[in-house]
Amino acid sequence: MAPEVSRPTATTSTDPDVRRDIVDTVRRFVANEVAPVATALEHEDTYPADIVAQMRGLGLFGVTIPEEYGGLGLDLLTYIGVIEELAFGWMSLTGVVNTHTMAATLIMTHGSDDQKRRWLPTMATGTRRGALSLSEPDAGSDTRNISCTAVRDGDEYVVNGTKAWVTNGERAGIVALAARTEEGISAFIVEKEPGPHFEGISTGKHVGKLGYRGVETVETVEMSYTDHRLPAANLIGEAGRGLPLILGVLEVGRINIAARAVGVARAAFEAALAYARQRETFGRPIGEHQAIQLKLADMATHLEAARLLTRNAAERKAAGLRCDVEAGMAKLFASETALELATESMRIHGGIGYTVDLPVERYYRDAPLMVIGEGTNEIQRLVIARGLLARGRDTD
């Protein structure tokens, strides 16, 4: 039986005009500051320090953190709008925000008042970055197979084990950790200084990838704990009850993946549409040829469906409703749409789409990550089916 996912309470809805202004601001930022340099930075695999600093200035690390802790206090619908715009310009930028937001969500939803006061203010400003330390070399989709241990020793826990695919690992100051205690899998917050080594924590094996470069190749690491001590006060919730808390946070991650997939899909579609109007064959724009028109119609339809599925999942999550099925559907459909539209955009562009002169090849390389990240689409199908069956039993 799958572990129960913890359900948060409803959050306050953001005024639609405020949401629109925030998303428009990010859209202009992407157009002016990201789009002109994204391709060069991505090809060089260079960490965009200036862009990330500007993201901090815009408050993007505190979008969903309440105002009382220094954040913007905006809802999940605003958050997915921000993520879509960032992904439209350069999908790698969304990675620097995603795990940070998941770690903050764990604290906001399940942390004590003292824990919120300790950690959220510096996370809201981006002064301390957040990371999620869940997956292991032998425990990816099988979260119940976690072997990293946290052994109680007086007022501390002693942590040993290795985590894989830790985004923001080196630069993080706050790490949400899932580790096995005597009671079962527990959730902790680990405080560290940015860098490859801190007390019993070390990072290594920077992961090179097909796409998702610049931010993520520099930032995705293995994280090892060797007799690392952390205060018992850093336990989130009850010992042995951490897995449902983490799985609830992963729903936010899946909605994030869906939103960034919509951004990449939109970028691929808009590039294809513009090229179909511009490129001429046989004396007329290729967009007037029926074969291209059929492609554009399908692309636009799938893009809109992906956006609506993502919005529905975000609305349910924000309302405090069960959304494991909806988040899985959004992640599944939007990521497959991004992969499909990136491929179709390349086909519409023809040979030039295969060159590094246009960003289409970047969309093509970035899209597969969303099919895999935050739970493969095969796992999403199982989550969806099991959720549907469980809901059917609940109504019997």
**Residues catalogued as catalytic:** 374
Residues 6 or more apart whose Cβ sits within 8 Å of residue 244: 3, 4, 5, 6
Closest CA relative to residue 39, chosen from 366, 370, 373? 366
SS (H, E, C) the chain: CCCCCCCCCCCCCCCHHHHHHHHHHHHHHHHHHHHHHHHHHHHHCCCCHHHHHHHHHCCHHHCCCCHHHCCCCCCHHHHHHHHHHHHHHCCHHHHHHHHHHHHHHHHHHHCCHHHHHHHHHHHHCCCCEEEEECCECCECCCHHHCCCEEEEECCEEEEEEEEEEECCCCCEEEEEEEEEECCEEEEEEEECCCCCEECCEEEECCCCCCCCCCHHHHHCEEEEEEEEEEEHHHEECCCCCHHHHHHHHHHHHHHHHHHHHHHHHHHHHHHHHHHHHHCEECCEEHHHCHHHHHHHHHHHHHHHHHHHHHHHHHHHHHCCCCCHHHHHHHHHHHHHHHHHHHHHHHHHHHHHHHCCCCCHHHHHHHHHHHHHCCCCHHHHHHHHHHHHHHHHHHHC
**Backbone phi, psi, residue 161, to 5°:** 145, 175
